[in-house]
Structure 1
Amino acid sequence: MALSVPKVHPLPPILAEWTDRSGDYFDRVQKTEPEYLVWSRFPVKVYVQPADQWSQTWVTLMTQAVNEWKAYFPLELVDRRDSADIRIDRASIPLRFPPVERVRFADVRFELYEQDAILQHRMIIRVQPNRPDLSMLAAARHELGHALGIWGHSSLETDVMYFSQVRTPPLISARDVNTLKRVYEQPTRLGW
Structure 2
Amino acid sequence: MYKEKKAKFRLKSVVKILVIISLFLLTITQSSALDKDLEESLPPLQTHPLPTPLNQWQDQPYSGDYFDQIEPSVAGYLLWSEFPIKIYFDRPDNPSDTAATTRRFNQWVSAVETSISEWNSYLPMTEVDRAELADIIIERNDPPIDVQVDPETGQLDIPRARTAQARYEFYIENNQLLHKMVIQISPRLSQVATLSAARHELGHGLGIWGHSLQENDVLYFSQVSSSIPISSRDINTLKKIYEQPTRLGWSFPGDN
Q: Could you state the TM-score of these two structures normalised by the residue count of structure 1?
A: 0.95
Describe the SS at the equivalent of 1:109.
strand
Shift of 1:169: 2.2
Asked if the contact 2:139–2:182 (Cα under 8 Å) also holds between the matched residues in 1, the reply is yes
1:80 aligns with 2:135: no
Shift of 1:91: 0.8
Shift of 1:156: 0.5
CA RMSD of aligned residues (A): 1.2
Q: Find the counterpart in structure 2 of residue 6 from structure 1.
A: 45
1:128 aligns with 2:186: yes
Worse overlay, 48-57 or 16-25: 48-57
1:107 aligns with 2:146: no
In 2, Cα distance between the equivalents of 1:51 and 1:88? 13
In 2, Cα distance between the equivalents of 1:51 and 1:58? 10
Asked if the contact 2:115–2:195 (Cα under 8 Å) also holds between the matched residues in 1, the reply is yes
Q: Find the counterpart in structure 1 of residue 198 from structure 2.
A: 140
Describe the SS at the equivalent of 1:60.
helix
Shift of 1:146: 0.4
Q: 2:213 is matched by which residue type in structure 1? A: S
- Offset from partner CA, 1:90-124 (integer Å, 9 cap, x none): 11122333135x53210010010010110000100
Describe the SS at the equivalent of 1:65.
helix
In 1, Cα distance between the equivalents of 2:189 and 2:229? 19
In 2, Cα distance between the equivalents of 1:122 and 1:128? 20
Which residue among 34, 55, 63 is the counterpart of 2:75?
34
In 2, Cα distance between the equivalents of 1:38 and 1:131? 28
Q: 1:65 is matched by which residue type in structure 2? A: S
Which residue among 28, 44, 68 is the counterpart of 2:118?
68
Q: Could you state the TM-score of these two structures normalised by the residue count of structure 2?
A: 0.72
In 2, Cα distance between the equivalents of 1:95 and 1:44? 29
- Offset from partner CA, 1:16-73 (integer Å, 9 cap, x none): 1001111100000001110100100001011111124521111111111111100111
In 1, Cα distance between the equivalents of 2:223 and 2:137? 22
Shift of 1:5: 1.1
In 2, Cα distance between the equivalents of 1:131 and 1:168? 13
Identity %: 47
In 1, Cα distance between the equivalents of 2:146 and 2:172? 31
Asked if the contact 2:142–2:162 (Cα under 8 Å) also holds between the matched residues in 1, the reply is no
In 2, Cα distance between the equivalents of 1:75 and 1:81? 15
Q: Deviating runs (4+, > 3 A) in structure 1?
A: none
Asked if the contact 1:46–1:75 (Cα under 8 Å) also holds between the matched residues in 2, the reply is yes
Describe the SS at the equivalent of 1:126.
strand
Greater gyration radius: 2
Worse overlay, 123-132 or 52-61: 52-61
Worse overlay, 23-32 or 2-11: 2-11
Describe the SS at the equivalent of 2:234.
helix
Q: Work out the number of aligned pairs and report it.
A: 191
Q: Find the counterpart in structure 2 of residue 16 from structure 1.
A: 55
